[in-house]
Amino acid sequence: MTLTSRLTGLMGLILLGTTASAFAQVETHHLDNGLEIVVIPDHRAPVVTNMVWYRIGSADEPAGKSGIAHYLEHLMFKGTDEIPEGQFSQIVAANGGQDNAFTSYDYTGYFQRIAADRLPLVMRMEADRMTDLVITEAVWGPERDVILEERRSRVASNPSAILGEQRSAALYLNHPYGTPIIGWEHEMSSLTRQDALDFYTRFYAPNNAILIVAGDVTLDEVVTLAEEYFGPLASSDSISERIRPQEPIAVAARRLVYEDPRVQQPYVIRSYLAQERNAGAQEDAAALTILAELLGGGATSVLNRALVVDAGIAVSAGAFYNGTSLDRTSFGVYAVPAIGTSLQQVEAAMDASLSEFMQTGVDMEHLERIRTQVRASEIFARDSQEGLARAYGSALTSGLTVEDVQNWPADLDAVTAEDVMRVAAEVMDLRQSVTAELRGTSTPEAPQ
């Protein structure tokens, strides 16, 4: 029951996209009621990961009801007409499995990892709660307290998370990606049982869901079970194309400062509005992925070399980009100043380093090393059953296809130095950016 944020903070971790090309053949099927099925065979061990992904996330929430997608995700564990209140996860655990769920801007997902012979059990339970959820008067109030507490512990107690919300709100002038996935506190605190039921009734249906099963199963086995459990569910006619308010043309560079006495380590971070992966057209996103790696991936990256190794004025620096998104996403750079260096100095050095990169271009040896890393990440990806299932789930709920997921490694491999410089010039436009400073109360040269 977690929140998945596109910008995972300062780790400098580039999600190259868990990739599938070397994995066993992925197979797909559709039920008549619209349920999409993806099976990822993995016969190394007699376990399965059973996932149901809904094409609904926080960016699909009604105005003023922020947090409802995540709140409903919590309530989905309460009970149904068949499962007694509070028993969902206990049944899974009693059968040796683990379960959880996650909400993001573009999707909500539920999963169990369990012995392969228990797949019928968990699939039946997922089908049951797709349309027969029960939210009693006894549970909705206390569960709202739980999400409010989750906000306090994840956001209010974390200056970096507070800044993250402010950055998104400032980056998106019109698109709901500017609203936090977990919701604004004042709106969360007035969400009701009826709000959750309205959201559930409108968006939870087989024709708005994807069943992804990875592990020791075959497509035939999964389809047979899915027909039995999901097959009887009626498709909904309240599911329509996901059209959200889009961004106007960006014209004004924005800056913001969040100052908090709890901040030990100040930093400066900039996000630019950026192209996302689009079905059949992932080239720009692939180039942006490589660009982020060149600028910020590891000790030999452009920003690290310039700011940390050579100048010694930053303790870390990096870049980030994740193109798996239904609408425009962001590309970012950041720098964490060394003691005695001000945020202004480290930002100026970061900008100088980026300018130099734009003039000198891509170091071809560096690009080759990145390509090797990408290939390595494909090999590592084979090892994670859940990671692979999530790569498919997030892609398919973000407007991409199975083919897009399978083509992604090749798209990354095909990126040229020219592609990188072209997307770099496009994306690094201050007019479509927010530069944010996280400051402690004693951060050097804090403005008034």
- The H or E element that residue 47 is part of is strand 47-54
Side chain identity, residue 301: S
Token digits of residue 295? 């600028």
Q: How far apart are CA 329 and CA 105, in angstroms?
A: 11
Report in angstroms how near the CB of residue 251 gets to a second copy at its nearest: 6
**CA nearest to 212, candidates 224, 198, 226, 200:** 226
Query: Is 73 among the catalytic positions?
Result: yes
**CA nearest to 321, candidates 296, 301, 357:** 296
Q: How far apart are CA 272 and CA 258, in angstroms?
A: 18
Indicate the angle between helix axes 364-381 and 385-396, nearest 10 degrees.
Answer: 110
Q: Which is nearer to a second copy, 12 or 164 (CB)?
A: 164
Angle at the Cα of 334 from the Cα atoms of 257 and 253, rounded to 5 degrees = 55
Q: What is the DSSP string of 172-227?
A: -SSSGGGS-TT--HHHHTT--HHHHHHHHHHH-SGGGEEEEEEES--HHHHHHHHH
Cα atoms in the 13 Å half-sphere on the side-chain side of 186: 2
Q: Which is nearer to a second copy, 91 or 173 (CB)?
A: 173
Indicate the angle between helix axes 283-296 and 402-413, nearest 10 degrees.
Answer: 50
Token digits of residue 165? 């919300």
Q: Which is nearer to a second copy, 94 or 243 (CB)?
A: 243
Report in angstroms how near the CB of residue 146 gets to a second copy at its nearest: 20
Cα-only R_g, the chain = 23
Q: How far apart are CA 221 and CA 10, in angstroms?
A: 42
Q: Which is nearer to a second copy, 85 or 185 (CB)?
A: 185
Angle at the Cα of 251 from the Cα atoms of 249 and 252, rounded to 5 degrees = 140
Token digits of residue 260? 């908090």
Q: Which is nearer to a second copy, 74 or 167 (CB)?
A: 167
Report in angstroms how near the CB of residue 411 gets to a second copy at its nearest: 28
Side chain identity, residue 143: E
Q: Which is nearer to a second copy, 166 or 407 (CB)?
A: 166
- The residue whose two tokens read 């890393």 is 373
Report in angstroms how near the CB of residue 431 gets to a second copy at its nearest: 8
Q: Looking at 36, 73, 150, 347, which residue is catalytic?
A: 73
Q: Which is nearer to a second copy, 250 or 414 (CB)?
A: 250
Measured in Å, how far apart are the chain's first and last C-alpha atoms?
40
Report in angstroms how near the CB of residue 173 gets to a second copy at its nearest: 4
CA 303 to centroid of chain Cα atoms = 24
Q: Which is nearer to a second copy, 196 or 209 (CB)?
A: 196
Q: How far apart are CA 448 and CA 442, in angstroms?
A: 12
Q: Which is nearer to a second copy, 360 or 448 (CB)?
A: 448
Report in angstroms how near the CB of residue 322 gets to a second copy at its nearest: 23
Report in angstroms how near the CB of residue 330 gets to a second copy at its nearest: 16
Report in angstroms how near the CB of residue 187 gets to a second copy at its nearest: 7
Report in angstroms how near the CB of residue 268 gets to a second copy at its nearest: 13
Strands of 47-54's sheet in order across: 2-3, 98-103, 108-115, 47-54, 209-215, 36-41, 27-30
What torsion, rounded to 10 degrees, do the Cα atoms 271, 172, 247, 236 define? 120
Q: Which residues bind a second copy (CB under 8 A)?
A: 63-64, 66, 162-163, 166, 169-170, 173-174, 176, 178-179, 184-187, 243-246, 248-249, 251-258, 351, 430, 436, 448
Annotated catalytic residues are 73
